Structure 1
């Protein structure tokens, strides 16, 4: 069997995040080093981060603002403008 060598790495993270991760991985029967190795191996197998990274769902206030903007854009009673100059002419 071929002998493998190991290398140390150092990762900085928030102490509370580290503690939460250690608790989770302990429940799964591993330590943080094993979990990180699993992550790296899966990344190499897939040739990418092995999960979707997204900005997440907008909060309720943002969703409300988007819905209101959509409603306004479709309302024929609300005046629209083709450019900023036209808008400023109307408000000045």
Structure 2
């Protein structure tokens, strides 16, 4: 392992349960937190992006999902329920 004299310190807060769970996984694959974070940051640097998809899911309205004319012709359908 190469030890570099000039290292920047990164302090962050993380959910304690997540830290423990991830620590156990990292132990299984032989990595520590510092190495894992360095791998992650290098991946971002080389790919110039977060290496997984991030999105905000939102519910669509009926008009967005089916189109604004979705209700046209409904009055012509037979009522099978009633």
Give the TM interval when normalised to the shorter protein: 0.5 to 0.7
Structure 2 unaligned blocks of 5 or more: 76-82
Cα separation, 1, equivalents of 2:49 and 2:8: 22
For the residue of structure 1 that corresponds to 2:74, the secondary structure is coil
1:27 is displaced (CA, Å) by: 1.0
RMSD (CA atoms): 2.9
1:76 is displaced (CA, Å) by: 1.8
Flag the structure with higher helix content. 1
For the residue of structure 2 that corresponds to 1:23, the secondary structure is helix
Runs of 4+ displaced beyond 6 Å: none
Cα separation, 1, equivalents of 2:5 and 2:46: 19
Alignment of 1:28 onto 2:29: yes
1:75 is displaced (CA, Å) by: 6.1
For the residue of structure 1 that corresponds to 2:30, the secondary structure is coil
Structure 1 unaligned blocks of 5 or more: 79-92
Deviations 1:25-82 (A, max 9, x none): 11111011110000001100011111222346x8xxx7xx96xx74xx256225xxxx
What's the TM-score once normalised by structure 1's chain length? Answer: 0.58
2:80 alignment partner in structure 1: none
